């Protein structure tokens, strides 16, 4: 099923606080979107609107041309997986998945059973007796097996150990290959999850800083390292944003962001400067730093 999300001048206020301001973007086609932002950037507010948990204060968000809030047809297209409190949940995993299946038209019970085994989850044990990591794994099972046209994982890995997170990442990629849809991964584990993303959205202080294809985005970052005078002279002629500067003795390294022409790359080589890539995590950290 083809699904399109259009966000136009979206805003959310809590009293006098603007959680989101003038947000514009579009999600279309089956992709894995990485939603990044520091604490308080507005990620949860945005996802809550997309998931029909609340409505916006201003602007518009539509899914296939319709607003999702209190719209049962649209709400059924979205599955929002977030950290839940199961301390009072006496039902077991098997029965809870039956409840999920009842409301998810694309739910694949065989796949859910396969995932329960991969995550080594006891099907007849009450969820309140699961560890936090096991509860998160159960949420992931419900999200992946739902195969909702828009599947959102908001910090879904909480409590999972590294091997369990790796199973989650592998299943996201494999199931997306066979059952493509819009998947949104909201995360702070940028360096661990960046290879999953087709496209990146960064929120900063309630505004959309950028939306760009992952591969295109990371090619815009570069570190330039060499003798201090050579680096200073080279960088002085660039109309690019400087993200960070490090110096050790007579060696200096400058991180820049923007399009670096082939001529400039050749010039750097001729000057004996070393140019290196910059990770998504480093770009995210510096683009959302205090000087932004």
Structural domain boundaries enclosing 262: 219-287
For residue 109, is it within any domain? yes
Whether 2 has a pLDDT exceeding 90, the answer reads: no
Q: What tokens does 265 get?
A: 């790359």
User: In the predicted model, what is the mean pLDDT of residues 243-252?
Assistant: 94
Which of 212, 239, 262 represents a domain boundary (last residue)? 212
CB neighbourhood size of 70 (10 A): 9
Q: What percent of the chain has pLDDT over 90?
A: 86
Which of 168, 184, 212 represents a domain boundary (last residue)? 212
122 and 224 belong to one structural domain: no
pLDDT per residue as tens digits for the range 197-222: 999 999 999 999 999 999 999 999 99
Domain CATH for 55: 3.40.50.300
Where helices occur in 3-89 by DSSP H, the ranges are 43-50, 72-75
37 and 60 belong to one structural domain: yes
User: Is pLDDT larger for residue 40 or for residue 214?
Assistant: 214
Residue 57, classified by CB atoms within 10 Å of its CB into exposed (0-12), middle (13-18) or buried (19+), is middle
User: In the predicted model, what is the mean pLDDT of residues 11-30?
Assistant: 93
pTM of model > 0.85: yes
Whether 139 has a pLDDT exceeding 90, the answer reads: yes
For residue 112, is it within any domain? yes
For residue 292, is it within any domain? no
54 and 176 belong to one structural domain: yes
Whether 291 has a pLDDT exceeding 50, the answer reads: no
Q: Distance between CA 120 and CA 282 in Å, rounded?
A: 35
179 and 278 belong to one structural domain: no
Place of tokens 């894995």: 32
pLDDT per residue as tens digits for the range 85-128: 899 999 999 999 999 999 898 999 999 999 999 999 999 999 99
For residue 147, is it within any domain? yes
Domain CATH for 244: 3.30.70.2020
81 and 137 belong to one structural domain: yes
117 and 239 belong to one structural domain: no
User: Is pLDDT larger for residue 67 or for residue 1?
Assistant: 67
95 and 177 belong to one structural domain: yes
Nearest 10 degrees: CA dihedral of 274, 277, 278, 280? 180
Whether 24 has a pLDDT exceeding 60, the answer reads: yes
Q: What is the number of structural domains in the chain?
A: 2
Whether 133 has a pLDDT exceeding 60, the answer reads: yes
pLDDT per residue as tens digits for the range 174-197: 999 999 999 999 999 999 999 999
User: In the predicted model, what is the mean pLDDT of residues 60-88?
Assistant: 92
pLDDT at residue 290 in the model: 55
Which of 212, 232, 255 represents a domain boundary (last residue)? 212
pLDDT at residue 248 in the model: 94
182 and 131 belong to one structural domain: yes
202 and 76 belong to one structural domain: yes
For residue 140, is it within any domain? yes
State the chain's mean pLDDT as an integer: 94
CB neighbourhood size of 193 (10 A): 22
238 and 130 belong to one structural domain: no
31 and 56 belong to one structural domain: yes
For residue 118, is it within any domain? yes
Which pLDDT band holds residue 292 (cuts at 50, 70, 90)? very low
248 and 267 belong to one structural domain: yes
Q: Distance between CA 97 and CA 102 in Å, rounded?
A: 9
CB neighbourhood size of 166 (10 A): 12
């Amino acid at each position: 099923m083809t699904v399109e999300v259009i966000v136009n001048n979206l805003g959310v206020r809590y009293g006098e606080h603007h959680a989101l301001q003038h947000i514009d973007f579009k999600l279309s086609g089956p992709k894995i979107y990485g939603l990044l932002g520091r604490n308080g950037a507005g990620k949860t507010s945005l996802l809550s609107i997309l998931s029909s948990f609340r409505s916006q204060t201003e602007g518009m968000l539509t899914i296939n041309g319709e607003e999702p809030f209190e719209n049962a047809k649209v709400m059924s297209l979205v599955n929002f997986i977030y950290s839940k409190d199961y301390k009072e949940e006496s039902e077991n995993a098997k029965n809870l998945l039956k409840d999920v299946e009842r409301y998810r038209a694309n739910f694949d019970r065989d796949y859910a059973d396969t995932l329960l085994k991969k995550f080594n989850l006891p099907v007849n044990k009450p969820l309140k007796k699961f560890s936090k990591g096991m509860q998160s794994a159960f949420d992931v099972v419900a999200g992946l097996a739902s195969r909702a046209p828009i599947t959102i994982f908001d910090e879904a890995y909480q409590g999972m150990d590294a091997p369990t997170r790796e199973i989650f990442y592998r299943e996201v990629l494999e199931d997306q290959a066979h059952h493509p849809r819009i998947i949104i991964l909201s995360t702070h584990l940028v360096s661990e999850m960046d290879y999953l993303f087709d496209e990146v959205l960064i929120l900063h202080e309630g505004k959309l800083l950028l939306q760009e294809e992952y591969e295109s985005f990371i090619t815009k970052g570069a570190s330039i390292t060499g003798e201090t005078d050579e680096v200073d002279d080279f960088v002085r002629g660039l109309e690019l944003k400087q993200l960070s500067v490090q110096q050790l003795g007579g060696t200096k390294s400058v991180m820049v962001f923007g399009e670096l022409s082939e001529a400039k790359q050749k010039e750097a080589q001729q000057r004996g400067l070393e140019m290196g890539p910059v990770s998504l995590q480093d770009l995210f950290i510096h683009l959302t730093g205090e000087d932004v």
